[in-house]
């Protein structure tokens, strides 16, 4: 039985909000302090998070659940690269290289999601 579309969309929206809060908070904790830079982190995540949420779900629905893991890994890697490019072009923050910053933020929010799924789901 497939999940209710509204439940899936609700879960994706909650994941988006959690990602925005976590990654912006982690960026601030790592030293990103300018309002413009924090806004760029938010906007980069608004661009990549929906893709990272939808692609694995669609792949699992169309190709079977075994596709979920590999498609998730590819989508996350794409998000790291895309956000790294955005950070490299737009952030004034340079203490951490843009691609490394993107990796750290994405790893942190992904790990938080895994923990949540493991202990609350």
SS3 93: coil
Strand extents, DSSP E, the chain: none
Question: 61 near 39, Cβ under 8 Å?
Answer: no
pLDDT for 120 equals: 84
Could you read off the pLDDT tens digit of each residue along the chain, which spans 121 residues? 466 888 888 989 999 999 999 999 999 999 999 999 999 999 999 999 999 999 998 999 999 999 999 999 999 999 999 999 999 999 999 999 999 999 999 999 999 999 998 998 6
pLDDT for 37 equals: 98
* Residues 6+ positions from 87 with CB-CB distance below 8 Å: 40, 41, 44, 93, 98, 99, 101, 102
Q: Is 4 exposed, middle or buried (0-12, 13-18, 19+ CB in 10 A)?
A: exposed
Rounded to whole angstroms, the Cα distance separating 55 from 61 reads 10
- Number of domain units in the chain: 1
Domain limits at 39? Answer: 5-120
């Amino acid at each position: 039985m497939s999940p209710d579309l509204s439940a899936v969309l609700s879960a994706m929206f909650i994941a988006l909000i959690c990602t925005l809060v976590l990654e912006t908070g982690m960026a601030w904790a790592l030293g990103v302090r300018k309002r413009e830079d924090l806004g760029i982190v938010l906007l980069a995540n608004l661009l990549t998070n929906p893709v990272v949420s939808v692609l694995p779900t669609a792949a699992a629905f169309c190709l079977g659940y075994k596709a979920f893991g590999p498609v998730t890994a590819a989508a996350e890697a794409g998000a790291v690269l895309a956000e790294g490019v955005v950070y490299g072009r737009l952030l004034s923050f340079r203490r951490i290289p843009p691609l490394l910053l993107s990796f750290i933020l994405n790893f942190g929010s992904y790990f938080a999601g895994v923990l949540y799924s493991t202990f609350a789901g």
